[in-house]
Chain A
Amino acid sequence: MSSIEVILDKCIGCGLCVKACPFAAVELVDKKAVINERCTYCGACVDACKKYQAIVITRHTFEKHDVSRYKGICVYAEHRHGKLSSVVAEIIGAALKLKNVLQVPISAILLGSNVKPLAEEILSYGTDEVWMIDNTKIGDFAEDIQTELVAQILLEKKPEIFLGGGTIFGRSLLPKVAAKIGTGLTADCTELAIDHDTKLLKQTRPAFGGNIMATILCQHHRPQMATVRHKVMKEAAKTDAAQGKIIELNHIPIPDPAIEVLEFVEEESETVNLSDADFIISGGRGIKDPKNFALIEELAKAVGGAVGASRAAVDAGWIPYSHQVGQTGKTVNPKIYIACGISGAIQHLAGMKGSDIIIAINSDPSAPIFDVAHFGIVGDLFEVVPELIKQING
């Protein structure tokens, strides 16, 4: 059994642990730290008490894997409609950096129908092997079949690290795979690194709507699995001198699908794919009327971007939910995010704080959106946005 213990002789009742605990799980009772049932064993108090070493976490781990038998970095090559998802080049980019430290090969799992050209493309990013099953039974949206196959391949090939995109697909497929294998998975990482001494994968991710960051390890189970947030890692560059090879794994049987795909419907508006967009122009309460989203769309078209919205605009019925950015909507990381008439509630910030450049347009100079903005324009959006369009087209 795992446990957390306060060593009373060493505890001086300084209260540093109380402040450090993100879960309000430590209290001072009679000048001694007491840990209550909210504790999640995150270890923040142990770090805070380095000087006195009065808090000790004892950790037992179930069914450890023999980690020495696992080698290499593997990535999941998500694709649809005959194209690799743009996140794949980003994950390979991240994997190449890890490879520099670990000195192990990089492989990719590619499953689908008529995917050979994609395999060539994956090799051109500098991967060493593509583990491919090219079979007409594996449709674009056959997530359940792919889940089964990915688990089989990982069990057979035993990579030490397995990475997937933090996409809707990736964040559904990888958890099921992790549970099948009985290993750990870290969601939506924004930073990956190798620990110098232990050679473990340090997985860093935002939690609590980006207000705290956590670094996570998977010590005793393999592979170490993570989904990687879209548009954070730098893409691998294509090379002409691809050296890797394609390995077909046709001996693995294709399971029958449990879920039948009836139809795929592409949303009409090209301005809706927020996760792939380099530019996002969002409108909030300040838009005042659904008709005024036309102005936002016009700016989006001027820069070739997508249209986003705050929860207020969506709840008012001005624009469909698929455009919502924020805690209960989408998390986006574009190169430029322009917030028009959005005050910047903490829930909205949670969805767009990771953008490279944030531009805020608001008539209220005290709006919290200006606190996170790289550039801000104080003014009426109905004057500022047309001026922006004019000068960009200018």
Chain B
Amino acid sequence: MNIVVCIKQVPDTTDVKINPENNTLIREGVASIINPFDAYAIEEGVRLKEKYGGMVNVLSMGPPQVDASLREAVSLGMDEAYLLTDRTFAGADTLATAYTLAAGIKKIGNVDIILMGRQAIDGDTGQVGPEVAENLEIPHVTDIRKIEQIDEQGNIYLERMLEEGYVRLKAKLPVVITVVKEINEPRLPSLKGKMLAKKKEIHTWSAKDVEVNEKRLGLSGSPTQVVKIFTPPKPEGGKIFDGDIKGSVRNVLQELRASGILAGSEKGDE
């Protein structure tokens, strides 16, 4: 089994604070972490390798400091780590990102399963997985909560989360899979893994190292364009009741009924 896990380095939102003066994000001193959803993809990749053998490698696109996240992934059990980094990749929307990642996956070669988290916690788009699949001309399945098994004919059996339940699916490898948190409980890095990660050579590729049309990279290759970034208006102070509970509950229900949000007769004071 040849597995590639795609990860994204994101700012750690537990560190992010809102500046109360202008209601903007304070990014200073915010640590970078592996996108939390991708941690489940890493763990699933390691588990698949443990069960079926083969290789599990990690791939990311981003600025040079993504190196740290790739080393962390190695400490968690990734065999080889690949970083796509080049100034021409910058400003990529999901389409250009997927195009670039797919070029990296093609260069790694003979990949059976591509795993990633269902979405990144900074962009929240969840689009890169399906778009990578299209660039590789293979199928994809999103929101997978369980990989049941892979049979000898190269079929993979999956459970996909839906709003009202789940579906069981059968797909033929190769396939792109995005995972949700329910799929596993990631392990902590081992001491041996940490030592290994320190010395590991990270394979670093620029645009010249992969087969790409330069016009489709980064900002130039991105059909969408951010024209405005703003912080949503600060919520107005709500009504907080801290008196006796009976009265507080009555007050809240009265407000809701008065504004028609909650149905039911207005009984007035008891």
Interface, chain A (partner B; CB < 8 A): 1-2, 19, 22-24, 37-44, 47, 57, 59-63, 80, 141, 144, 167-169, 171-176, 178-180, 182-188, 202, 206-221, 258-267, 272-276, 303, 320-322, 324, 327-329, 335-336, 345-347, 350, 356-359, 365, 370-380, 383-384, 387-388, 391-392, 394
- Decide yes or no: A376 and B16 within 8 Å by CB, A22-B229, A387-B245 being known contacts: no
Nearest CB in chain B to that of A389: its residue: B249
B169: A residues at CB distance < 8 A = 141, 259-262
Q: Which of B130, B225, B238 lies in contact with A218, CB distance below 8 A?
A: B225
Contacts of B87 in A (CB 8 A): 37
Contact B165 A267 (CB under 8 A): yes
6 closest Cβ contacts across the A-B interface?
A184-B223, A41-B91, A179-B134, A184-B224, A175-B130, A378-B242
Cα of A184 to Cα of B92 in the assembled complex, Å: 11
Structural contact, B167 and A264, CB atoms closer than 8 A: yes
> Assuming the A-B contacts A379-B248, A387-B246, are A356 and B229 also in contact, with contact meaning beta carbons closer than 8 angstroms in the complex?
no
A259–B171 contact, CB under 8 A?
yes
When the two chains form their complex, are residues B229 and A259 in contact, meaning their CB atoms are under 8 A apart? no
Chain B positions within 8 Å of A, measured between CB atoms, are 13-14, 16, 18, 24-25, 27-28, 30, 36-37, 63-64, 87-88, 90-95, 98, 121-131, 133-135, 139-143, 145, 157, 161-172, 180-182, 213-216, 218-232, 235, 238-242, 245-246, 248-250, 252-253, 255-256, 261-262, 264, 267
Tell me whether B127 and A171 are in contact (CB under 8 A). yes
Contacts A/B (CB < 8 Å), 17 sampled: A2-B220, A24-B28, A80-B164, A174-B127, A183-B223, A213-B229, A216-B224, A259-B139, A259-B169, A262-B167, A275-B163, A321-B180, A350-B13, A358-B238, A372-B238, A377-B240, A394-B267
From A62, which residue of chain B is reached at the shortest CB distance?
B215
Q: Is the pair A328, B238 in contact by a Cβ cutoff of 8 Å? A: no
- Please report the C-alpha to C-alpha distance between residue A173 and residue B135 in the assembled complex, in whole angstroms: 14
User: Chain A nearest CB: distance from B60 CB in Å?
Assistant: 14
Q: Return chain B residues, CB-CB under 8 Å to A57.
A: 219
Interface of B is mostly: mixed
- In Å, the complex CA distance between A178 and B131 comes to 8
Task: With both chains docked as a complex, state the minimum distance between the C-beta of B157 and any C-beta of chain A, in angstroms.
Answer: 8
A265 contacts B161, C-beta separation under 8 Å: no
A336 near B256: Cβ-Cβ < 8 Å: yes
State how many angstroms separate the Cβ of A205 from the closest Cβ of chain B: 8
Report yes or no: B242 in contact with A218, Cβ–Cβ below 8 A: no
